[in-house]
Amino acid sequence: MKWIGLIAVVLTGALLLSAVGDFPDFGDPKSPANGGVGDFSVSQYYITHTEQDTKVPNVVTAVLADYRGYDTMFETTVIFIAGIGIIAILRSHPPGGRRGPAHPIDATVDGDHQRIIIGITCRIMIPIIQIFALYVVAHGHHSPGGGFQGGVMLGASFILIGLSRDLQAALARFSERRFIVLACLGVAIYAGFGLLCLLLERNFLDYGVLDGFFHTDPVMARSHGIFAVEVGVAFTVTAIMFAIYANLSSKGRLDEGL
């Protein structure tokens, strides 16, 4: 098995390396993927037209949520399905039947002295992380960031509660019912804005028609539409990241955690 594997890998690598010589030079602005010499390619269109079409300076955000909105919508659905699949595989109830959270919501940092430094530090850090995550979601139009990054950071802040105290403390703030509802809500916001455009007799996810809804001109309406679907993406990613952690760290019983 070892030798067969090695031979297969070396053969694949040799095949790919033999093709590397025909690639365009690294960093060449005139390579076919970057637009070629004479003709006008789609990536050049994105760079030159984003400003007038959507008023969003960050081209990546504009392409992600507007020009290629279908792609992102179904990527969000893939994340949602992966989270639901993990819950379906791992989730089980303890034999004694369902029981509520072991500690009440205002349980102070645990009595043991080893954890007091970690507990206090995380208590100070977590609000800052959450504020920064919301900033990343909201400021994705002008700087690197957006729904995916902000959602992962917001989910990570809840994971940090679970790591620094215990899983019950995190679940008291973001219970199982809440994260499943939030994940569904995120996908529903994204698809709902697409459907709203369809109901106003334009194409699916063509936000320009929402100018009456946002009280602006059609160009700014596209910018606001991008923000709306980014919020939907952030909801789903936050909920699913925390759901995956909660199920993996407690073998699906959602009782103790790490």
Partner 1 sequence: MIVAFDIIILIFLVITAVISLRVRDLLGATMVLSIYSFLMCLLWAEMGAVDVAFTEAAVGAGVSTVFLIATIYHTRRHSSD
Partner 2 sequence: MDLLNQYLIPHFNYWAYVILMMIGMHAMIVKNNLIKKLIGMSIFQTAIILFYVSIGVKEGADIPVLHHHAPEVAESHTPAADPHHAVDPDHYANPLPHVLMLTAIVVGVSTLGMALAISQSIYKDFDTLEENEILAKIKQGGPGIDV
Residues that bind partner 2 (CB under 8 A): 1-2, 5-6, 8-10, 12-13, 16-17, 20-21, 23, 25-29, 31, 33-35, 42-44, 46-52, 57-60, 63-64, 68, 71-72, 75, 78-79, 82-83, 85-86, 89-90, 142-144, 148, 152, 237, 240-241, 244, 247-248, 251-252
Measured between alpha carbons, how far is 4 from 52 in angstroms, rounded to an integer?
Answer: 56
Residue type, 171: L
Binding mask 214-243 for partner 1 (x = CB under 8 A): ---------------------------x--
Measured between alpha carbons, how far is 10 from 21 in angstroms, rounded to an integer?
Answer: 18
Measured between alpha carbons, how far is 186 from 80 in angstroms, rounded to an integer?
Answer: 9
Binding mask 187-216 for partner 1 (x = CB under 8 A): ------------------------------
Instruction: Tell me which of partner 1, partner 2, none is bound by residue 258, counting a contact when its beta carbon lies within the kind-specific cut-off of 5 to 8 angstroms.
Output: partner 1
C-beta closer to partner 1: residue 54 or 61? 61
Residue corresponding to tokens 């009440």: 104
Tell the smallest beta-carbon distance from residue 87 to partner 2 (Å): 9
- Could you say whether residue 244 binds partner 1 (CB under 8 A)? yes
Measured between alpha carbons, how far is 178 from 184 in angstroms, rounded to an integer?
Answer: 10
Q: Tokens in use for 165?
A: 């105290």
- Could you say whether residue 47 binds partner 1 (CB under 8 A)? no
DSSP-derived secondary structure letter, 33: G
DSSP-derived secondary structure letter, 131: H
Residue corresponding to tokens 């960050």: 58
Tell the smallest beta-carbon distance from residue 2 to partner 1 (Å): 10
Total residues found in the chain within this entry: 258
Instruction: Tell me which of partner 2, partner 1, none is bound by residue 155, counting a contact when its beta carbon lies within the kind-specific cut-off of 5 to 8 angstroms.
Output: partner 1
User: CA dist 93 to 120, 185, 206, 224, Å?
Assistant: 32, 25, 44, 43
Where on the phi/psi map is residue 27: left (φ > 0), alpha (ψ -120 to 50), or beta? Answer: left
Question: Binders of partner 1 among 2-41, rule CB under 8 A?
Answer: 27
Residues lying near partner 1 in the complex (CB under 8 A): 27, 58, 60-61, 144-146, 148-149, 152-153, 155-156, 159, 163, 241, 244-245, 248-249, 251, 258
